[in-house]
Chains A and B, each alone.
Chain A
Amino acid sequence: MKVVRPIIIVILLAVNIYLLGFAPGRAKEPPRQMDADQVTVMQSPDQTEGMEHPDFKKKEYTLVLPEGTNIALKKKVKASSYADVYTPKKVTDGKATGVSYWEGKPDYPNYLTVDLESIQTFHAIRIALNPMAIWGKRTQTIAVQISDDGENFTTLAGEKQYTFDPDTGNEVQILFDDTQARYVELVFTENSGAGGGQVAEFEIYQK
């Protein structure tokens, strides 16, 4: 028993030396600031105004209309179907923007027929969509037929896939030798941008 108490005293002394001398030093306060190397600041380029982005620049495009006058303007138009409010009469109203366009239902083929009121001579057809950039590029497969009586049609231009791109006017021009007819009909069998055919303006040119 003589040695027990001194041993206890030594152990307690050692514990106290640890608790008072070493342990507080080990309980370090965390850094009061962030390590600067853990902060990333993404820099912004020197600009004085919003700029056109070099990767998205568009080439300038100048629209050249076919020679002559659009004789389809304000003429009566009928369609085999139309979606929502996109009625056929909108394709000869002279407006290609906003909701002024025809759209067929997805019941191909869609027929869109303009009545020129009498037999006329013409040499070009222009099919236009809204030229604004919010209209994405699309393809439409179209054939052109003509008729004098509105019932018996013959093919003027066979079925072909055309590209409509707002970067190039969002239009297609079909040119041919002078042709005569009263009725001109577009036949749509495909549109990559909508459920049915779409036309904002259906123009027929006479020299």
Chain B
Amino acid sequence: MEKGKKVMEFAQWFVIFALIIIAVFAGKRLKDRTKEISRMLNYEGSKLVLYEGPKSLQDAKPEDLLSESEKQRNFALLHCTDTKVKVNGYDCYVYDTNVNHNRVWYPDYMPPQSRTPITYFDFEGMAKIEVSVPAMDLKSVKISPLSYHIIPEVDLDSKTVTFTITKPDNYTVIFNDSPERALHIFANTIEKDAPTESTENIKYIGPGEWNIENIILEDNQTLYLAGGAVVHGIINANYAKNIKVEGRGILDGSSFQGWMGKTAYVPLKFDNCDGVTIKDIIVLNSNAWVCSAKSSVNGVIDGIRIISSRPNGDGITLQSCNNYRIENSFVRSWDDSLVLKNYEGSSSHISFENMQLWTDFAQSMEIGYETNKGQAEDVSISDITFRNITVLNNFHKPVISVHNADDAIIKEVTFQNITVENAQMGSGDGDEMPYLIDIHIPKTSNWTSTKERGTIDHIIIDNVKVLSGKFSPSRVEGFDENHKISNVSISNLEILSEKITGFEQGKFQIDPATTENIIIK
């Protein structure tokens, strides 16, 4: 009996032990499976809004993609045919717009133009993006901004690239480490309470291709450009109050000839206005500069997307404006991407935040050269901030520049958290000023209006990182001992993974006779 009891006891312990082992394995399997599932794409709660492009836009043919001037080939906005995009399995319309890969100025205003694909949609939750480029000799892919650390799945055989995004933003797919045919994806939030028709104060333009040469907004009016709309024309106002331009649609200037130094059809021009808000729209193919304001106050530019390719195609240019906030926008331009000048009075309280720039020509963030074109008395440019700016490419002139070619006082300017993904300053005829940072009061300049020169004082440059490209020099040079550059603080500068703590190490050219209290740490 005693023996039988012991056997029973042993058997029970054995069963308990076996059940514990099984439970541990089953638990681990369940945990692994749960992990695996959590890593799976989860469309639950996701929403997607796609916009058909206008049916009248022509398909891009091989000859439309040739690198030729606007006089030699079709310059119209087209339906892209060599790059296909699917979002969460649904086809997304792709446009083919003009860009400019030249790094030299063309005095005849006729540089050869190239093309690049762009697409846009709205989403919530998750968006799985599949890009196929069947005709491309695909070798590598990079997704910018690099700060998202997106590692795409690349199938070199089927020429497809797949990746997932969860945050609405602007993304650029760069193929084979080349700027050619880079795909710009503008992934928006889903709009709430968007207008669907015109009312007393809202001018609504729905999907389709529309020729409207000039839209002038008056006090308290909103122009709503719906997703799927392409308007060939310009929008502007003069001496207006409380006006708004918004929507997901495209404002296109390809039907105008290039300005050639004569007639500029500026797509967004708001002079002498109080309270202008510009939101979200996409602006392509301007015949000159793109988003401009002169002597205006209290402006907001939020989430707009600009691509310019023709000469003098500055992205966002403000002259003698006060109290402006520019944020969350994408600017790819064939001249300065962001630029502040004085044409009449002073400029102050202007901030640029959370911007993405791709500067094909000239400077990314420029103050100047014209700081007193109107030759007014006691003008200044002050309280200016550039913060959280990602420069995807900068090909020509400096990334950060303050140029005082007139007699204004420039003071209290901050550049903070600037990431340059690809620094190629000095390409083409940009070799005359191949700087990363250029703070300069020039002796002579093409853009000078006054005999005297002003000063530059209190400039903060903090946390600037150059991730790849060239180790470019920088310059700090004033005019003379009475017109100096003073109190410049440079900190947390990192070039090509090297922390820069000295001027020599950072290849700075500093003129001791015309500068004072320039520090780096």
B207 and A98 within 8 A (CB): no
Choice from B40, B90, B226 contacting A39 with Cβ under 8 Å: B90
Is B315 part of the binding interface, using a Cβ–Cβ cutoff of 8 Å? no
Say how far A165's CB is from chain B's closest CB, in angstroms.
Answer: 10
Residue of B nearest to A1 (CB): B9
A16 within 8 A of B: yes
Contact A9 B12 (CB under 8 A): yes
Question: Shortest Cβ distance from B225 into chain A, in angstroms?
Answer: 11
B37 touches A30 (CB 8 A): yes
B238–A138 CB distance below 8 A: yes
Q: How far is the CB of A57 from chain B (nearest CB, A)?
A: 9
CA–CA, A195 and B294, complex, Å: 12
- Chain B nearest CB: distance from A15 CB in Å? 5
Answer whether A51 and B209 are a contact pair too, CB < 8 Å, given A27-B37, A33-B43.
yes
Task: Contact check, B20 vs A44: say whether CB atoms are below 8 A apart.
Answer: no
| Given the contacts A42-B226, A195-B344, A50 and B40 also touching, CB distance less than 8 Å | no
Chain A interface, >50% SS class: loop
Contacts of A62 in B (CB 8 A): none
CB nearest to B12 among chain A residues? A5
Identify which of A27, A28, A38, A48 contacts B56 (C-beta below 8 A): A48
B30's contact among A23, A39, A166, A195, by CB below 8 Å, is which?
Answer: A23
Q: Are the CB atoms of A31 and B43 closer together than 8 Å? A: yes
Contact A51 B208, beta carbon cutoff 8 Å: yes
Seen from chain A, the residues whose Cβ lies within 8 Å of a Cβ on chain B are 5-6, 8-9, 12-13, 15-16, 19-20, 23-24, 27-35, 38-53, 55-56, 84, 97-99, 132-134, 136-138, 166, 192-195
Beyond the given A16-B22, A27-B33, please list 12 additional residue pairs across the A-B interface where CB-CB is below 8 A: A16-B19, A19-B30, A20-B26, A27-B30, A27-B34, A30-B40, A30-B41, A31-B44, A34-B43, A52-B211, A56-B215, A193-B239
Does chain A have a CB within 8 A of B16? yes
Taking a contact as CB atoms under 8 Å apart, the answer to whether B214 and A134 are in contact is yes
Contact residue among B55, B212, B228, B255 (Cβ-Cβ distance under 8 Å from A42): B228
Q: What B residues does A41 contact at CB under 8 A?
A: 49-52, 90
Q: Mark B34-49, 1 if CB is under 8 A from A, else 0.
A: 1001001111101111
A43 touches B207 (CB 8 A): yes
| CB–CB B13/A5 < 8 A | yes
Complex Cα gap A192–B41 (Å):
57
Interface Cβ pair total, 8 Å cutoff = 169
B211 to A, closest residue via Cβ: A50
Residues of A within 8 A of B56 (CB): 47-51
B136 beta carbon closer than 8 Å to chain A: no
Q: Which of A29, A44, A56 has the most CB of B within 10 A?
A: A44
Judge if B159 is at the interface, Cβ distance under 8 Å: no
- Whether A44 contacts B54 by the Cβ 8 Å rule is yes
How distant is A125 from chain B, measured CB to nearest CB, in Å?
25
A40-B49 in contact (CB<8A):
yes
Name the contact of B26 in the complex, choosing from A16, A99, A195 (C-beta under 8 A).
A16
Contact A56 B207 (CB under 8 A): no
Report the separation of the CA atoms of residues A125 and B518 in the bound assembly, to the nearest whole angstrom.
Answer: 62
Chain B residues positioned under 8 Å from A40 (CB to CB): 47-50
**What separation, in Å, do the CA atoms of A15 and B231 have in the docked complex?**
66
Q: When the two chains form their complex, are residues B209 and A47 in contact, meaning their CB atoms are under 8 A apart?
A: yes
Q: A15-B23, A30-B41, A34-B46 are in contact. Are A136 and B236 (CB under 8 A)?
A: yes
> Does B262 lie at the interface of the complex (its beta carbon under 8 Å from any beta carbon of A)?
yes
B261-286 to A contact mask, C-beta < 8 Å, 1/0: 01101000000100000000000000
